[in-house]
Amino acid sequence: MPVVRVVVELAAQAEEKRRRIRVTKWVIFTVLFGLFPLLASAIAVENNISTEALIGHAELYLIASVLIGDALGRIWNARAVAREWSIVCFAALALVLAHCALKFGTLAEHIRDCQKICPEQQYASIFTFVISILVSYWAVELEG
């Protein structure tokens, strides 16, 4: 019996290590690289680095859409759609993606005219971005 317990424990440790590596790669290559447009905005505005200057043109909706696209691909490629939680996650991702597309579309007139979006819309974009990170993380965990 102790041999079986050791094998099970080693398998669990190996799975946990794979999960940590998968999450670390997701954070680096998807989340951090996805935030590069904000870095470019920060460089462009030079001395006037403020929340309004960085996200005033609805960039977070676009970044959230990219994160969600990655997560949808992970769920689809993992062939995990048959599992109940994967279906719920896929639906949540699709809803947040639709929300991002609709919000960015409604704000397009302001963006075309080089106007900044109002503070309420900026806060809504931050909230949507955080939700997209959480649901995308859920997809990374389900990819397993």
**pLDDT, tens only, 73-132:** 888 887 654 577 888 888 999 999 999 999 988 888 877 787 778 888 888 888 999 999
Token readout for 109 is: 């007139």
How would residue 4 be classed by pLDDT, with cut points 50, 70 and 90?
confident
Q: Give the residue among 41, 37, 60, 28 at the shortest CA–CA distance from 132.
A: 60
Q: Give the residue among 99, 100, 81, 97 at the shortest CA–CA distance from 139.
A: 81
Query: What pLDDT score was predicted for residue 92?
Result: 93
Q: What is the pLDDT of residues 27-80, one digit of tens each?
A: 999 898 888 878 877 777 666 666 666 677 788 898 999 999 999 988 888 765
Amino acid at 109: E
How would residue 1 be classed by pLDDT, with cut points 50, 70 and 90?
low
Query: What pLDDT score was predicted for residue 134?
Result: 92
Average pLDDT over residues 127-140: 91
CA distance 125 to 127: 5
